[in-house]
Structure 1
């Protein structure tokens, strides 16, 4: 029913979203059979005056402005001692407080650590690679071939959900207003990473296999660009202003702020900004070539029809044969029930 929604766009949109200068040709899926879906979406979004792109640009600018404001609050550059523990050898580094990051530490120690380190442990706490160090620290680096990558796998799954949300935000034509709802806490054992979205078209759209492959392609494009996951903690007031166009985020922010001293943690890749507690992997390039978005299930959240997009992926440098990965893809098509105890599910799309 209403297959080939004809709202997905590929390389040109992706390059526009992430501010790339190179030219690429936009490819559109045939839209002759989807006029009703577009009509429904236009009717539901008639009261909105923003586009997906304008909202992204606004949030990204606010992110930049707040990041600069916070940097300007640093009165002077103080040095901190960072004791690195790991291969090739333990090293004592003197870095800039509030400015230097675990990745900067890697830059002092060699290209191997720069390439493979996806997450850090700072004073026993898991830490983003591009998050500034705040005090004298012990530093360890985590990669995907560690003996116990449990926490890194969770960060990878969380990052994949974030990337999927970014892909959903950029993949549709501007007459389809995309309103991201949330992505549940990562659970690798569930078999899929997830992003929930309100497309303002009810459940009229049933994506084809070709359209789902476009989402997978856009995930790969993000990986090729190796975009850093940038972290920024802001006030609840600023977060509310930033996400005022999103009714779901607006409702979520006060409860998050109540639990985190009136603070909201944001992340950005390219110009896509969203809320997450983190941590995330160092950059999108840690997503390997094995990445598939095989399903979009129809769910209902508080009476509102939504889609739950699900994906499965392997990190860069982790290899699996085609048969084994096909089994993971098949498993990822089954509806992931994470956070769905209070939701209603319809038939899978």
Structure 2
């Protein structure tokens, strides 16, 4: 890490809990993270206490070791709780749940009615939705790492991350760094970002989902003008705003996401590109962070993974050449990992 830039913390998970929570728009990045996490916890507790009398539902499980019926708690029990009735393998490898053969469901999202349940891992025959959930989660986690990777003197404003496009070659998060006019990260800085990404995933954090109203969502993101501006449109389309949390990081996403950060295996932050902003835009300095990752149980040799990293370094404009796509198909068909990466 070059000391001349001094951009990235060495220990990015040091929280200062002595500072009071504030609703001011001029919060530091870390204060904003703590405040959002605090409001998420309060709302989750409020919704749980609102459930009242516990009702039972029947969950008809389909899969190994055998089909069976589980009696679970309505609005409380999750597919993850169902997996715990079987083996540690079910708990660790299940990425998504499939309800009634058609609805893809987060592992930590409560079940609200009688249903059939299938637990999906990374080697299922139809992997498209698991692939997308994995890629979407990787983008979410990239935003989490970037939020705390910079010194307090460098404000970080998460802008947005696109829907998962596996063929683009990398997962993405666009981030406004208003105080950095022309930042070009050194290779050492990319290594540091990658190391912090790995450290975050190794914490084994569940991906929690929470649906909130428009006003609470705006209050939670009062420090971020981009998120705040997106919320009314999201709420008008869906009636509420869906949030996810890993650790103390909270962000907006329609989901679904995978079960746990420990399911992210080999990964790297491959590149950061400066994006050209519009003269009429309120975005100051927008940077595109790009990375690539594999699920934990997928083994790939160093040479093959380096091909993916090289591809992920190229700035993504969401148009992938046939040649690049053929490279992906070749490597993952040859190693029988097409069920993991290619959708």
Q: Give me the TM-score of the superposition, normalised by structure 2.
A: 0.86
Counterparts of 1:16-55 in structure 2 under 5 Å?
16=15, 49-55=26-32
Pick one of 99, 105, 123 that aligns with 2:82.
105
Pick one of 291, 294, 301 that aligns with 2:267.
291
Pick one of 49, 67, 70 that aligns with 1:90.
67
CA distance in 1, matches of 2:202, 2:244: 19
CA distance in 2, matches of 1:66, 1:334: 40
2:291 corresponds to: 311
* Deviation of the 1:15 alpha carbon: 5.3
Query: 2:15, 2:30 within 8 Å by CA — same for their partners in 1?
Result: no
CA distance in 2, matches of 1:161, 1:142: 21
Q: Secondary structure at the match of 2:31?
A: helix
1:253 corresponds to: 231
CA distance in 1, matches of 2:305, 2:108: 31
Q: Does 1:337 align with 2:311?
A: no
Pick one of 167, 191, 199 that aligns with 1:213.
191
In structure 2, stretches of 5+ residues that fail to align are 18-23, 320-343
Pick one of 169, 176, 180 that aligns with 1:198.
176
Query: 1:7, 1:173 within 8 Å by CA — same for their partners in 2?
Result: yes
CA distance in 2, matches of 1:281, 1:126: 11
Q: Which shows bigger deviation, 109-118 or 93-102? A: 109-118
CA root-mean-square deviation: 1.8
In structure 1, stretches of 5+ residues that fail to align are 20-46, 340-349
1:26 corresponds to: none
1:14 corresponds to: 13
2:166 corresponds to: 188
CA distance in 2, matches of 1:84, 1:131: 16
CA distance in 2, matches of 1:84, 1:16: 41
* Deviation of the 1:201 alpha carbon: 2.2
Pick one of 187, 198, 202 that aligns with 1:224.
202
CA distance in 2, matches of 1:301, 1:91: 55
* Deviation of the 1:187 alpha carbon: 0.6
Query: 1:298, 1:308 within 8 Å by CA — same for their partners in 2?
Result: yes
Q: Does 1:300 align with 2:280?
A: no
CA distance in 1, matches of 2:262, 2:55: 32
Matched residues, number = 307
CA distance in 1, matches of 2:241, 2:146: 22
* Deviation of the 1:300 alpha carbon: 3.1
